[in-house]
């Protein structure tokens, strides 16, 4: 019989409080559960957001972390997908209803009941979920993906959120040969979007405030790199793109960006401003353009993305940190000072 385990973790004890070393309890392994020793965990903007600013429904203490890679240490008696010793990953979700129309087609992230998020959420057992800034995590096998051998566990970790968040819309809006994709912003999401769009065969342009990260952008696979602070960018690239993937959370001059889309082009927003945005529909109407948004990706698509990254040599560019550097890393992330993802080495917990 499996028993609950007490594991070391980093948690925020209250809103806006610094994270501190503590312990959390992991449930006993149930029939379909996998117990994972965490190897690496990426620091996502939404970790910072939920700990510091708040989306209004936080559960404290909070153990953030939904870009998790590790090794399977124990499996429940009914588990068939994973075995002890397997290299695995866990992303933003750890459960869903599994019977609604979205779950049935592999869009668990859009579950009618809302998925159970990896942290700051309540599981079907009524208990709060705690994320990956911890030595171990226990997750139902259906929400655990396989990390191919070709991907190191540290650079694979950010793929579980930043990777799938960009891969899913690129696939949905058919980024590929003959298609022109612009990635707005070169941060954690943007640096994955550029690599993935390039690997999918699309022609890729980065639209960034300045040319400061131009060399990085071109090295990651961009064909062109333009500064949005230069008005000439919007004149020269008018009507140029099939898809704009916007990774910036601050509101933009949307009409100016719609002008960059060709007929039937789409602007897909991954960064979400806190306040409602205003757009003039005229700038969409002219060329049947659309404005949309997209959230992570389903479990099967997450596996597809990891396999694609392994086959094409795509991975995150990371700054590895020790667990005790997490608060400092949050400050730097807030200042936009990271290239391109902080990843905690869980052995330092
Ligand atoms: Zn995330
Ligand atoms: Zn569902």
**Does the structure show a pLDDT above 80 at 54?**
no
The ligand whose atoms approach the alpha carbon of 103 most closely is: 2
| Across 312-336, average pLDDT | 97
275: exposed, middle or buried (Cβ count in 10 Å: 0-12, 13-18, 19+): exposed
The answer to whether 4 and 110 are in contact (CB under 8 A) is no
| Across 267-281, average pLDDT | 91
Question: ∠ at Cα 315 (161, 274), nearest 5°?
Answer: 30
How far, in Å, is the centroid of ligand 2 from the Cα of 117?
13
**Does the structure show a pLDDT above 90 at 228?**
yes
How far, in Å, is the centroid of ligand 1 from the Cα of 44?
5
Q: Average pLDDT of the chain?
A: 96
What confidence score (pLDDT) does residue 305 get?
Answer: 98
User: In sequence order, what are the residues at sequence separation of 6 or more whose Cβ sits closer than 8 angstroms to the Cβ of residue 205?
Assistant: 180, 181, 182, 183, 222, 223, 224, 225, 226, 237, 240, 241
Task: Report the C-alpha gap between 85 and 258 in whole angstroms.
Answer: 49
The ligand whose atoms approach the alpha carbon of 115 most closely is: 2
The ligand whose atoms approach the alpha carbon of 106 most closely is: 2
The ligand whose atoms approach the alpha carbon of 158 most closely is: 1
How far, in Å, is the centroid of ligand 2 from the Cα of 256?
37
Q: What is the pLDDT of residues 102-125, one digit of tens each?
A: 999 999 999 999 999 999 999 999
The ligand whose atoms approach the alpha carbon of 48 most closely is: 1
Specify the residue for token string 């957001």: 49
Indicate the DSSP class of residue 115: P
How far, in Å, is the centroid of ligand 1 from the Cα of 67?
7
**Does the structure show a pLDDT above 70 at 48?**
yes
**Does the structure show a pLDDT above 80 at 175?**
yes
Percent of the chain topping pLDDT 90: 93
What confidence score (pLDDT) does residue 246 get?
Answer: 98
| Across 55-74, average pLDDT | 93
């Amino acid at each position: 019989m499996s028993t609950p385990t007490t594991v070391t973790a980093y948690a925020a004890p209250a809103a806006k409080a610094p994270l501190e070393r503590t312990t959390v309890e992991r449930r006993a392994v149930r029939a379909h559960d996998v117990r994972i020793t965490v190897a690496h965990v990426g620091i996502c903007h939404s970790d910072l957001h939920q700990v510091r600013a708040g989306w209004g429904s936080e559960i404290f203490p909070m153990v953030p972390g939904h870009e998790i890679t590790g090794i399977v240490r124990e499996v429940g008696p009914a588990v068939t997908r994973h075995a002890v010793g397997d290299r695995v990953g866990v992303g933003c979700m750890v459960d869903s209803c599994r019977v609604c129309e979205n779950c049935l087609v592999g869009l668990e992230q859009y579950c009618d009941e809302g998925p159970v998020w990896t942290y700051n959420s309540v599981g079907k057992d009524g208990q709060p979920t705690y994320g990956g800034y911890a030595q171990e995590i226990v997750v139902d096998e259906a929400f655990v993906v396989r990390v191919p051998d070709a991907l190191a566990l540290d650079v694979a970790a950010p793929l579980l959120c930043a990777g799938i968040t960009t891969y899913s819309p690129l696939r949905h809006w058919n980024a590929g040969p003959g298609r022109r994709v612009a990635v707005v912003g070169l941060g954690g999401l943007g640096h994955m979007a550029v690599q993935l769009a390039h690997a999918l065969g699309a022609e890729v342009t980065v639209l960034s405030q300045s040319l400061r990260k131009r060399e990085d952008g071109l090295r990651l696979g961009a064909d062109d790199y333009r500064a949005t602070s230069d008005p000439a960018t919007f004149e020269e690239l008018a009507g140029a793109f099939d898809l704009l993937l916007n990774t910036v959370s601050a509101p933009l001059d949307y009409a100016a960006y719609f002008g960059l889309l060709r007929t039937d082009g789409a602007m897909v927003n991954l960064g979400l401003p806190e306040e409602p945005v205003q757009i003039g529909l005229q700038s969409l109407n002219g060329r049947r353009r659309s404005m949309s948004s997209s959230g992570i990706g389903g479990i099967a698509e997450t596996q597809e993305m990891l396999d694609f990254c392994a086959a094409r040599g795509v991975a995150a560019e990371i700054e590895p940190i020790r667990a005790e550097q997490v608060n400092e890393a949050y400050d730097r992330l807030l200042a936009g000072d990271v290239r391109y993802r902080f990843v905690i080495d869980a052995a330092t917990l």
